[in-house]
Amino acid sequence: MIATIETNSKKYKIDLSKALDISIPMRASEKNVNAWYQNPPKIEPVQDGDWIASVAEGADINFNNIHFNPHAHGTHTECVGHITKKFHSVNQNLKQFFFLAEVITVAPEKHKTDFFISKKQIQFALGNKKREAVILRTIPNTNEKLNQQYSNTNPPYLLEEAAIYLREKGVKHLLIDLPSIDKEKDGGELLAHRAFWNTAGRKRMDATITELIFVPNTVQDGTYFLNLQIAPFENDATPSKPVLFEIE
């Protein structure tokens, strides 16, 4: 099914039957991707006395409870409420779901024991392109990202200068295949988050950060349309399903 989308007075055609899902599914497994020192997610049937809400256990239905943390257990989208004293819900602030997006691939730079992504790298990858969303794939890019255990591993992160550059370039939605855009242990500074959402000035309430995505190597760098699908949780972050569509 071909759809036509118009943005900035330009028309683009996409094939809705050819979606490229870049989310990581959540599983009740030790092999589920994990960060921030959390136990694996749980998906288990309700139990009431001897009755277990599982067809395999003799019930008429499957009726599961799910226990998880959106920041730790898979692809999630967060808003400025992640770092503000006042409560803000991503479900209330994200009201548009289709964006012109650019996929870029970056090899984080090494400095002592850290790996980081600099302004210069993103500048080089984006060039003069103006995009509403940027999907940042880091290399090496292997299937291990689907079940990586990130706690206490000091993953790569964005420098503050890189986040400022993206904000000033007008990027409202940043998607990355890491557990955070900030350093795992930074003493609570959260410099890249604060810079991207502009918490020292006029907060960018409609801007989002999506973490723990996975962009397969079969997806080439370039321009796509992004459908950023979120679960309607009234929370600072929610599980999400970003989907890319090639432009015809």
Average pLDDT, the chain: 97
Distance from C-alpha of 193 to C-alpha of 182, rounded to nearest angstrom = 7
Please give the pLDDT value at position 143. 97
Rounded to whole angstroms, the Cα distance separating 196 from 80 reads 9
Q: What does the pLDDT read at residue 9?
A: 76
Q: Which residue is listed with tokens 């079969």?
A: 218
Query: What domains sit in the chain, N to C, each tagged with a CATH number?
Result: 2-35+70-247 (3.50.30.50)
Q: Which residues of the chain have pLDDT under 50?
A: none
Whole-angstrom distance, CA of residue 130 vs CA of residue 165: 12
pLDDT at residue 6, rounded to an integer: 81
pLDDT recorded at residue 210:
99
pLDDT value of position 10: 86
